[in-house]
Structure 1
């Protein structure tokens, strides 16, 4: 391994090369994707086969009398945002249910024929195919058990309006990967605003505020904290990353919990099940924040 041998020799030789580049496309992949790696000193004997991924050719889905279901997941989140951008009417279920013998979890996407233009199967398949999604045609809205698909907790979604705070004291890497994940992985538009200007912002323009990892104890004064607390109490969502949750739950900040938000607000908008404060550890780096349409 010439590269590693060179690295071992550099300290002894006092070699300093500011232009030296480091390859992160191979040996640093576990760090790049934040996954655990177990190193084996000898062959494991496991049977392996090459992995190939071929995109599915877009073709019209089978026709459905009622609409289509998409089980929730990372790909479903990205496809939902794309569908909303395309002008489709999209709903999400507020509870689990079983339909035609198959179980579906909370957040399952429901796209109804009656709420969307003609040609829905072709449009939806073109959106779902790149994500490898399992789109289930729905010929009956009758469920075996669980949440009724006609329930008022099957909420219409709208594209979230996301504010991403950046600049000191937010860590640049945390802000960078948060924006990359939202904009590039999920296709979610983001408005990046300097933390020093938060006091001048109209928070009602946003449904979600993302605070990257950082120490906000002195950066956000009491007037800003008061506005953020009131904004949360209207049913909007604060997402804190890295070590920022410690600040958010401190006595000084006292961010409202779901139980503190008036039921009249939460119950009418369907937001109670999410909770107003979200914290994300460094190992949980992607969240969907699709909002109920009110």
Structure 2
């Protein structure tokens, strides 16, 4: 593999990691602040993707599609939190798993009823199509580069909000001692709704961004949800910094593993066998990474930090 191709694949891994961070950030906030296991988070990713695809088809505007993904996912998050999730905070995790799994089924069937079983397609705008020339003669997709830059900007804004703003202080306080901030007069129900809506909006935004790369279809959020859980386990539950580092590690490991492992096995195996073995091990690489991190850091890289 040439150095240029390796750098291109590393950029693909960074793009994948940034997308996973948008998904995992909301999930880790929800679990860290509320102590809630939310299996329906992937459905909010799907809602954002479908809202973006439908808005783009109706208006022809990609920017309006992105705004729609944020608004509809956040609105769906508020409805879910106030109608269902609010009744689960004092229940054990098994009840939360069962209730949010039921929400997954409801979202899937509701989306299939509204949009049908066939996938939708979200076209990239012309001004984000094509490639851009990077240093060292690297030609890279302009849209994927835009995802990286937008994702990093969102991550920076999220870090700033958590660390520097009043609402960020309340979120961190709610994560550490929710009873105390409630006693100090903070409306804990409003805080929970806000956190859930923020997490839903981030997931929906990720779904809209990736919807222009792959098809938008029912059930698209569940595989990403599994990876998001891997990310927050690696990074540490409740840690935004951990979610970011974990997402980049998972994105790089998955993308580079799928390219490098078949090449490695190709040195001493037949090409077909090398490709099959390398692909199989590459699909396991992120879980081996998670096991390795937990072996030395049972709470994740930044758990409890």
TM-score (norm. length: structure 2): 0.23
Higher strand share: 1
Higher helix share: 2
Q: Which has the larger radius of gyration?
A: 1
